[in-house]
Structure 1
Amino acid sequence: MILIVDDTPENLISLKKVLEKHDFEVDTASSGEEALRKVLRNEYVLIILDVQMPGMDGFEVAEAISGYSKAKETAIIFLSAANTETRFITKGYSSGGLDYITKPVDMSVLLLKVKTFYRIYEQSRKLIEIQTALLEEIEFRKQAEYKKDEFISIASHELKTPLTSVKGYVQLLERSIDKGDVQTVKKHLLKAQTQLEKLNNLIADLLDISKIESGKLKFNKQNFYIGDLLKNLVEVMSHSFPDYKIVINGQVKSCIFGDEMRIEQVIINFLTNAIKYSPGTSEVVINVREENERIYLGVRDYGIGIAPEQQKSLFEKFYRVEETALHFQGLGIGLYISAEIIRRHGGTVGVQSTLGEGAEFYFEIPLISPPEID
């Protein structure tokens, strides 16, 4: 928008009409004081400023405007009928003006200058936008690289831990076999098997994230009943975590079209996280319901909960909550993989949590999954 400042009404009207005829948005002020009030409230690309005015003259107005942080970059063109000497023109430039035009004004010249200033303004704005976007991209890439390096370090540690444990149990097995202690052999075998299963799960997650990155994560979608899936899943999980009671709240009678194995993978991830992050508790609730041709499934725990500022990042790749990373193991990719699986079923994931009161991780998917979501 352009602001015209002139104490002569005829000048304001004639300039305004000419500029509006050429599709410029125009505002006017009849004094320096009024101009300053408007500059405080509005943003202007250009100010066309009369030099000779009662009260504050044009030079004083320009100097005052240059002191406003949001208006100091605004272009100013001085107009003057009397002050045409070099010293006045010089003062105009030193007061913050970018041009000084003497009256009577050649409208074609003024229009050309206005269009030039507008073009410069648009180019400057685009350059600033590009610069801002580049800085954001650089910062984003730095944070990706940082998370990637951190992930590699964590992955190395997480993979090494079960391997070291298996190696230790194998050495104990050798000694127990030599002694003929069958019970101890069975005990060490069971512990080694547990560590190998953990290692297998870690490798599976790494393979899944690699497939996601390369666009090769495959889905085998068919009809299944989520009620049957949950019943079998709770039975298996109860054997693995006998100290926890897993309760199913609600039911879904309709058949779902999707990848049963991948949906099961998401629910297992939610359940294992719920148990992991709720030490000292003994119950996890699966809330499930059908509404508007969609399935809602949430896993509710009564554990440590998650701070609001951390919730928005939980499903990002490699993200781990700093406070919990010190106490709980994990690669920080399970929720990212889960989110991708649900997205590929045309659904959404989310979390509701209050710090210190537990959390409910949930997903919603349509009863009939779209054939392909890229």
Structure 2
Amino acid sequence: MILIVDDTPENLISLKKVLERHNFEVDTASSGEEALKKVLKNEYVLIILDVQMPGMDGFEVAEAISGYSKAKETAIIFLSAANTELKFITKGYSSGGLDYITKPVDMGVLLLKVKTFYRIYEQSRKLIEIQKALLDEIEFRKMAERKKDEFISIASHELKTPLTSVKGYVQLLGRSVDKGDIPTVKKHLAKAQVQLEKLNELIADLLDISKIESGKLKFNKKYFVLDALLDGVLEVIHQANPTFNIIRKGNAPQEIYADEMRIEQVIVNFLTNAIKYSPGTNEIEVNVKVGEGQLYLGVRDFGIGIAPELQKNVFEKFYRVEETAIHFQGLGIGLYISAEIINRHGGEVGVKSKPGEGSEFYFTLPLNAVPEAD
């Protein structure tokens, strides 16, 4: 928008009409004081400013405008009939003007100058947008690089831990075998098996994330009853964590069309996370609801919870809540894989949480999903 400042009404009207005929949006002010009030409220690309005005003259207005951070990039063209000497033109430029035109005004020349300033403004704005986009992209590269380095470090540590444990148990096994101590052999074997299972889960997660990124994560969808799947999962989880009381609320007796193994993977991830991140508690809830064409399954713990500003990030790849990463192991990819599995089924994942009161991680699945035609 252009602001014309002139104390002569006929000058304002004639110049406004000319500019509007060429599709410029125009505002007017009849004094320097009125102009300053408008500059504070509105954004202008260009100000056409008369020099000789009662009260504040054009030079004083320009100097005041240059002090406004909001308007410091606004172009100013001075118009003057009386002050045409070189010293006044010089003062105009030193006051912040980009051009100084003497009256009577050649409208053709003025229009060319206005169009030029508008073109410069548009180009400048585009350059700023491009610069911002480039800076954002560079920052995103840097962030991705930091995440990758952090992930490699975490993965190395997480994979090394069970490997070191297995190596230690194998050495103990050798000594126990030499002694013929069968009970101790069985005990060490059981502990080694636990560590091997952890290693297997870590490798499986790494393979899954690789398949997701290459678009090769396969699904074997079929009809099955979620209640039956959930019964089996809860039994296994309870056997592995006998001190935890798992309370089940609700049922889903209907058949759904999905990849049973992958849905089990998501449920197990939610349950093991709930147990892992709720130290000092011994109870979790599994809430199942069916309605409005979808199935809802949520796993509620009563542990440490997650701050509101962090909740939107928990399903991102490699994301680990900083305060929990110090105390709990993990690659930070389980929830990301779970989200990808559910999204590929046409469902949604989410979390409801309050710090200190626990979290409920949940997913929904459509009940009306059917096999795709060959």
User: TM-score per shorter chain, which class?
Assistant: over 0.9
Once the 2 structures are TM-superposed, how far is the Cα of residue 4 of structure 1 from its aligned partner? Answer: 0.8
| Shift in CA distance, 153/65, structure 1 to aligned 2, threshold 3 Å | same
Where does structure 2 lack aligned partners over 5 or more consecutive residues?
none
Give CA-to-partner distance per residue, 1:83-121, whole Å, 9 cap, x none: 111111111111111111111212221111111111111
Q: Secondary structure of the residue that 1:17 maps to in structure 2?
A: helix
How far apart are the structure 1 equivalents of 2:115 and 2:186?
87
Q: Secondary structure of the residue that 1:189 maps to in structure 2?
A: helix
How far apart are the structure 2 equivalents of 1:365 and 1:13?
65
Once the 2 structures are TM-superposed, how far is the Cα of residue 371 of structure 1 from its aligned partner? Answer: 7.4
One-letter code of the match for 2:172? L
How far apart are the structure 1 equivalents of 2:220 and 2:2?
61
Q: Is the 8 A contact 2:257 2:371 kept in 1?
A: no
Q: Secondary structure of the residue that 1:248 maps to in structure 2?
A: strand
Instruction: Find the counterpart in structure 2 of residue 213 from structure 1.
Output: 213
Of stretches 275-284 and 99-108 in structure 1, the one that deviates more from structure 2 is 99-108
Matches within 5 A, 1:14-93: 14-93=14-93
Instruction: Find the counterpart in structure 2 of residue 168 from structure 1.
Output: 168
How far apart are the structure 1 equivalents of 2:144 and 2:317?
9
Once the 2 structures are TM-superposed, how far is the Cα of residue 214 of structure 1 from its aligned partner? Answer: 1.2
**RMSD between superposed Cα atoms in Å:** 1.3
Q: Secondary structure of the residue that 2:274 maps to in structure 1?
A: helix
One-letter code of the match for 1:18? V
| Shift in CA distance, 216/97, structure 1 to aligned 2, threshold 3 Å | same
Matches within 5 A, 1:106-121: 106-121=106-121
Where does structure 1 lack aligned partners over 5 or more consecutive residues?
none
Q: Give me the identity figure in percent.
A: 80
| Shift in CA distance, 371/106, structure 1 to aligned 2, threshold 3 Å | farther
Instruction: Find the counterpart in structure 2 of residue 144 from structure 1.
Output: 144
Once the 2 structures are TM-superposed, how far is the Cα of residue 252 of structure 1 from its aligned partner? Answer: 2.2
Once the 2 structures are TM-superposed, how far is the Cα of residue 304 of structure 1 from its aligned partner? Answer: 0.7
How far apart are the structure 1 equivalents of 2:343 and 2:229?
20
How far apart are the structure 1 equivalents of 2:23 and 2:253?
62
Give CA-to-partner distance per residue, 1:298-352, whole Å, 9 cap, x none: 1100001111222121111111111111111001111111111111112221111
Aligned length: 372
How far apart are the structure 1 equivalents of 2:5 and 2:109?
18
How far apart are the structure 2 equivalents of 1:238 and 1:61?
78
Instruction: Find the counterpart in structure 1 of residue 123 from structure 2.
Output: 123
Instruction: Find the counterpart in structure 2 of residue 360 from structure 1.
Output: 360
The answer as to 2:327 corresponding to 1:317 is no
Instruction: Find the counterpart in structure 2 of residue 196 from structure 1.
Output: 196
Once the 2 structures are TM-superposed, how far is the Cα of residue 145 of structure 1 from its aligned partner? Answer: 0.5
Q: Is the 8 A contact 1:226 1:252 kept in 2?
A: yes
The answer as to 2:201 corresponding to 1:178 is no
Instruction: Find the counterpart in structure 2 of residue 12 from structure 1.
Output: 12
Once the 2 structures are TM-superposed, how far is the Cα of residue 240 of structure 1 from its aligned partner? Answer: 1.1
Matches within 5 A, 1:172-321: 172-321=172-321
Q: Secondary structure of the residue that 1:56 maps to in structure 2?
A: coil
Once the 2 structures are TM-superposed, how far is the Cα of residue 258 of structure 1 from its aligned partner? Answer: 1.6
